[in-house]
């Protein structure tokens, strides 16, 4: 057995996990002791690690393999009994949640920066998921952070690298390591949820053509195995399907800007019937009809409204939930179904508590994330299969399904404007000023609108009573529209301001208009109230979704 080495170290500033773990530039993570400090902080938080079991894997981005070798040596030195590792170091984030839950591990370490770019000069991330398969709650991430502030040493082994590419078992310092196929367990779970026989009939129909853009990221192997191999979609249905350390030089964020190849195919001279894309770690999704963009807020509402068409959700839903910035389209479905609808802060961990307490079945957020209680993470490929199941059961194209939904429930026009790469100090000052003034905004005129209500969203968890404050400034206008201001917690450099606007419309003649036109007054009023141009120097966002 290899000797355990105790390495002296000193704390690094700024190792506080955000909404999705610790995300930094690769250059920071590759500093001597930096990754090791954070991993040891996780192990210290867990307490006595002897005999515990962990799942480990990531989205295949740059530094993924090296990080897994480091984590494995440290886990063995800290007395773990077993590691489950995806072949090649690969696990999509929803597949990791599936594996944690199926094999009953004590949690998992996910190596990913989600939809952020990858490569030597780009981003890396580490996230701990608990035994329920979901992101660690705030109490746990705070405990990890406290450990990083006082860490003095970490444990490791002086051994060579193990073979990550061969499925099977081996031993490292007395700890068992099992390299498993990262796709099979997840694919089997999907087959238990959806009607694969009927979806296969759809995908093998020569009149139905779809495209799935894996964006050179982790979902490629999953999409190929499920869509092309199990369900019989024609070869080439999955594009950009080979995971790449730098995501092919692109930005693996499934939106209209970064999934340009897919968008062009859906809007060309011979548009496909259905299109979808997933992000770096496989938890986000964008879905498109023929020449038709489906807003993530609408997608979530449509899935909930049509859940009865999917085998796993034939029975009534326990409840639904959405993040606060997400449009209120889901609320209207919940009201019709007479089930609870919870409004949570941004961050999937809040949904996890509700699912563990059997309060919700389906949930989602405007940032291209939807999921259900089958795992404890949002799940991009699950959402795509859900749409395919609805299409085949309803015998209607995606575009018609959405339009009929608007006719039935009304339409919540929604947009998100991202202002990226901002000066963190000035942007923080802007949000701080907005918070200070929020109680005095009622009755104020802003552009063509007046403010009816305003607050800084706070959430009390109905399960554990935890309180989360300062989750986003909300402004409600007299025309029924709403604006929300937040600083993103997923970036690694400078600041990103996110402005969300939505407005409800029921007039049938006004349900098919341009979103930016319908929200123009709200966007103008919001910019004026916050002083976006004054504080950021920007007159237009970098990304509109």
Q: What is the pLDDT along the chain (545 residues), one digit of tens a residue?
A: 578 999 999 999 999 998 789 999 999 999 999 999 999 999 999 999 999 999 999 999 999 999 999 999 999 999 999 999 999 999 999 999 999 999 999 999 999 999 999 999 999 999 999 999 999 988 899 999 999 999 999 999 999 999 999 999 999 999 999 999 999 999 999 999 999 999 999 999 989 999 999 999 999 999 999 999 999 999 999 999 999 999 999 999 998 889 999 999 999 888 899 999 999 999 999 999 999 999 999 999 999 999 999 999 998 899 999 999 999 999 999 999 999 999 999 988 899 999 999 999 999 999 999 999 999 999 999 999 999 999 999 999 999 999 999 999 999 999 999 999 999 999 999 999 999 999 899 999 999 999 999 999 999 999 999 899 999 999 999 999 999 999 985 555 578 999 999 999 999 999 999 999 999 999 999 999 999 999 999 999 988 88
- Which pLDDT does position 151 carry in this prediction? 98
Active site residue 114: yes
- Which pLDDT does position 316 carry in this prediction? 87
The answer for residues whose C-beta is within 8 angstroms of residue 99's C-beta and 6 or more apart is 55, 84, 86, 91, 105, 108, 180, 185, 186
The answer for residues whose C-beta is within 8 angstroms of residue 50's C-beta and 6 or more apart is 79, 80, 81
Q: CA Rg, the chain, in Å?
A: 23
Question: For residues 278 and 257, what is the distance between their CA atoms, to the nearest angstrom?
Answer: 13
Helix %, strand %, coil % of the chain (to 5): 35, 25, 40
What are phi and psi for residue 292, nearest 5 degrees? Answer: -145, 120
Work out the angle at residue 253's Cα, subtended by the Cα atoms of residues 461 and 516, and round it to the nearest 5 degrees.
Answer: 80
- Which pLDDT does position 19 carry in this prediction? 74
- Considering Cα of 429, then 430, then 433, then 435, what sign does the dihedral take? negative
Helix boundaries (H) for 47-165: 64-77, 93-103, 138-150
- Which pLDDT does position 489 carry in this prediction? 58
Q: What is the number of other CB atoms lying within 10 angstroms of the CB of residue 133?
A: 25
Burial of 224 (0-12, 13-18, 19+ CB in 10 A): buried
User: What is the arrangement of strands in the sheet containing 82-90, beginning at the earlier edge strand?
Assistant: 22-25, 123-129, 108-111, 53-58, 82-90, 175-180, 168-172
Domains defined along the chain, listed by start? 4-180 (3.40.120.10), 186-409 (3.40.120.10), 411-544 (3.30.310.50)
Helix boundaries (H) for 104-207: 138-150, 184-193, 196-203
What distances in angstroms separate CA 165 from CA 59, 86, 309, one per listed residue?
A: 15, 9, 39
Q: Whole-angstrom distance between the N-terminal and C-terminal Cα of the chain?
A: 54
User: What is the arrangement of strands in the sheet containing 285-289, beginning at the earlier edge strand?
Assistant: 238-239, 210-213, 274-278, 285-289, 292-294
Question: For residues 439 and 261, what is the distance between their CA atoms, to the nearest angstrom?
Answer: 46
What distances in angstroms separate CA 153 from CA 6, 36, 272, 299, one per listed residue?
A: 6, 9, 56, 48
User: What is the arrangement of strands in the sheet containing 411-422, beginning at the earlier edge strand?
Assistant: 445-446, 449-456, 473-477, 482-487, 495-505, 411-422, 543-544
Pick the catalytic residue: 114, 323, 372, 481? 114
Burial pattern 200-223, b for ≥16 Cβ within 10 A else e, equals: bebbeeeebbbbbbbbbbbbbbbb
- Which pLDDT does position 493 carry in this prediction? 57
- Which pLDDT does position 269 carry in this prediction? 84
């Amino acid at each position: 057995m290899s000797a355990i080495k105790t390495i002296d170290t000193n704390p690094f500033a700024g190792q506080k996990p955000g909404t999705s773990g610790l995300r930094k530039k690769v250059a920071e993570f590759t500093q001597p002791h930096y990754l090791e400090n954070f991993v040891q902080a996780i192990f210290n938080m867990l307490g006595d690690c002897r005999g515990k079991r962990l799942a480990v894997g990531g989205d295949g981005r740059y530094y993924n393999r090296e990080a897994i070798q480091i984590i494995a040596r440290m886990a063995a030195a800290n007395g773990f009994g077993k590691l489950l590792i995806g072949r090649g170091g690969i696990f999509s984030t929803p597949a990791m949640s599936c594996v944690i839950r199926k094999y009953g591990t004590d949690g998992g370490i996910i190596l990913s920066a989600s939809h952020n770019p990858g490569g030597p000069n780009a981003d890396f991330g580490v996230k701990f998921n608990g035994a329920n398969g979901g992101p660690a709650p705030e109490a746990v991430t705070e405990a990890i952070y406290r450990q990083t502030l006082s860490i003095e040493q970490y444990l490791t082994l002086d051994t060579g690298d193990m073979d990550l590419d061969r499925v099977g078992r081996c031993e490292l310092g007395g700890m068992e390591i099992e390299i498993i196929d990262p796709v099979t367990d997840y694919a089997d779970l999907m087959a238990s949820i959806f009607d694969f026989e009927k979806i296969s009939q759809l995908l093998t129909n020569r009149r139905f053509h779809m495209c799935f853009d894996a964006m050179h990221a982790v979902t490629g192997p999953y999409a190929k195995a499920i869509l092309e191999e199990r369900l019989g979609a024609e070869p080439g249905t999955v594009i950009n399907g080979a995971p790449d350390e730098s995501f092919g030089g692109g930005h693996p964020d499934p939106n209209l800007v970064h999934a340009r190849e897919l968008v062009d195919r859906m809007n060309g001279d011979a548009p496909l019937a259905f299109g979808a894309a997933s992000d770096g770690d496989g938890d986000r999704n964008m879905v498109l009809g023929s020449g038709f963009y489906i807003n993530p807020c609408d997608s979530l509402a449509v899935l909930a409204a049509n859940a009865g068409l999917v085998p796993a959700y034939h029975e009534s839903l326990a409840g639904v939930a959405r993040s606060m910035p997400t449009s209120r389209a889901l609320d209207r479905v919940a009201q019709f179904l007479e089930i609870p609808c919870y409004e949570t802060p941004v961050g999937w961990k809040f949904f996890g508590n509700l699912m563990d307490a059997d309060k919700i079945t389906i949930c989602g957020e405007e940032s291209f994330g939807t999921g259900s209680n089958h795992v404890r993470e949002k799940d991009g490929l699950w959402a795509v299969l859900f749409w395919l199941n609805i299409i085949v059961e309803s015998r209607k194209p995606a575009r018609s399904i959405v339009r009929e939904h608007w006719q039935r429930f009304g339409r919540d026009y929604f947009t998100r404007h991202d202002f990226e790469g901002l000066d963190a100090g000035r942007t923080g000052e802007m949000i701080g000023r907005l918070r200070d003034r929020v109680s005095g905004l009622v009755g104020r005129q802003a552009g063509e609108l007046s403010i009816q209500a305003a607050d800084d969203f706070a959430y009390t968890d109905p399960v554990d009573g935890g309180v989360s404050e300062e989750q986003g400034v909300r402004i409600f206008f007299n025309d029924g529209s709403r604006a929300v201001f937040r600083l993103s917690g997923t970036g690694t450099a400078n600041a990103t301001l996110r402005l969300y606007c939505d407005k409800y419309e029921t007039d049938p003649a006004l349900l098919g208009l341009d979103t930016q036109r319908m929200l123009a007054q709200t966007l103008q009023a919001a910019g004026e109230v916050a002083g976006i141009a004054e504080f950021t120097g920007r007159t237009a966002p970098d990304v509109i979704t």
